[in-house]
Amino acid sequence: MTTAMGAALRRIQLGNALSAFGNGFTVPFLFIYVAQVRDLGAGIAGMALAALAVAALVVLPFTGRVIDRRGPLPVVLAGSIAAAIGALVLGVVGTAPLVIAAAGLLGAGFAVIQPALATLIVWCSTTRTRSRAFAMQFFLNNLGLGIGGLFGGLLVDPEHPSSFVRLFAIEAAMFLVLAVTVATVRLPKGYGAGAEVPAGERSKGGSRAVLRDRAMVQLCVLGFVMFFACYGQFESGLSAFAVEVTRISPAMLGTALAANTAAIVLTQFVVLKLVEGHRRSRVIALVGLIWTVAWLFAAFSGLVHGSHAIALSAIISTYALFGIGEAMLSPTVAPLVADLAPSSLIGQYNSAFALVKQLALAVGPAVGGLLAGAGWYVAYIAMLVICSLGISVLALRMGRRLTPAQDNPLLAVPAPVPAQRQTATEQVATAA
């Protein structure tokens, strides 16, 4: 990695961390704000949350093409400004249509930022450094969200709507900081909209090219199952299970969520060292097994009625194990998407995977909520144990379609010493 690439990457990571910090101020409190502070009711609050997801689903299919044609920098700037406006409007309006519209604008802006930032990270990293770069992004995201949520909880007061105005103003300011930070990034020479793409790597057809890539399609299916079985359950089925079946208090549920964040923050770089150099498909398969154990811990917590401490420990362990699995995926999945993509379609590959993630995050809570609402907790746990085992199976099957360099990025660049010896041998042969 050159000095210019490293400097650009540091700016991108800083802006990303600050935007996550601002986002953490409002995300945990959006439902309460709309339903109780603005007195619009749970139905409108649910519609506002749905607007966040729907807006993302609407804009993501077009985002990748724009990134590949115009470059990721303008997309980050446009998304940051849109998200900032959405956050500011949410903090001051009090009618249902405006709240829903502002939530949609916030969701659309935030959605397009993600694949654009991922493309920038790809541009500012090498095959050998990409896993570490994406692990750092994930680490800073979770650290920013956690600290933002902590400070937001200290500042917020449901009795004083002005406290929520401050939260949304801080979020808007952080999105603008992201825009300013990224606008000052000096990309390495040869990168940017219209940069020359090697003739052998030019691809046509956009989304059709993505669909023709069997390995990418398998990764998208795998990604849907992963996000459905983990991230999509945190705020719906798993929370309901913990409160209704394990019978922990809402305060202890917050502790369990904190255990998830702590597991990510504390283990991210330890896990990174352990997974570097190993086949990506096998790392993802191991995550499936870890999440299977996590769901079995959750089931166990619901069966231990005689000891509340044991049940509480089991459900906290569930959240912590999910965090360890997430830490293993961060240096694995996003870099794999980048390594599968031709140079001319990096934005569309990133956007396609972001769309799959958003679909899973929309379907996951809906399915989890329905099963939890009906009280079908045995079926709920069984479904997610099967999904977790399915992650392992799908990962191993996908590994058969990956090239050795795609499955293990350290194989993509030959070691320098053997390369030098080969060159010397060729020179002797030529002289003879």
Label residue 333 by pLDDT band (50, 70, 90).
Answer: very high
| 367: exposed, middle or buried (Cβ count in 10 Å: 0-12, 13-18, 19+) | middle
Q: Chain-wide mean pLDDT for the chain? A: 85
Rg (CA), the chain: 23
Q: Hey, how many other C-beta atoms are within 10 angstroms of the C-beta on 299?
A: 21
CA dist., res. 361 & res. 230, Å (int): 9
pTM of the model: 0.83
Tell me the pLDDT tens digit for each residue of 376-406. 999 999 999 999 999 999 999 999 999 998 9
Label residue 153 by pLDDT band (50, 70, 90).
Answer: confident
CA dist., res. 305 & res. 303, Å (int): 6
Tell me the pLDDT tens digit for each residue of 66-117. 999 999 999 999 999 999 999 999 988 889 999 999 999 999 999 999 999 9
The answer for 406, left when phi > 0, alpha when psi is -120 to 50, beta otherwise, is: alpha
Output the six-digit token pair for 16.
């990303």
Half-sphere exposure at residue 403, Cβ-oriented, CA atoms within 13 angstroms: 10
Give how far the C-alpha of residue 67 lies from the chain's centroid of Cα atoms, to the nearest Å: 18
Total residue length of the chain? 432
Q: Which residue is it, tokens 């799959």?
A: 356
CA distances from 285 to 184, 207, 394 (A): 40, 27, 8
Whether 420 shows a pLDDT value over 50: the answer reads no
Output the six-digit token pair for 329.
């995926």
- Comparing 148 with 334, the larger pLDDT belongs to 334
Give how far the C-alpha of residue 81 lies from the chain's centroid of Cα atoms, to the nearest Å: 21
CA distances from 178 to 30, 149, 150, 166, 422 (A): 22, 18, 21, 18, 47
Phi then psi dihedrals of residue 52, to 5 deg: -55, -45
Whether 422 shows a pLDDT value over 80: the answer reads no
* Residues 249-262, mean pLDDT to the nearest whole number: 81
Q: Which range in 179-183, 233-237, 386-390 is most confidently predicted, on average pLDDT?
A: 386-390
Q: Which residue is it, tokens 């808007």?
A: 172
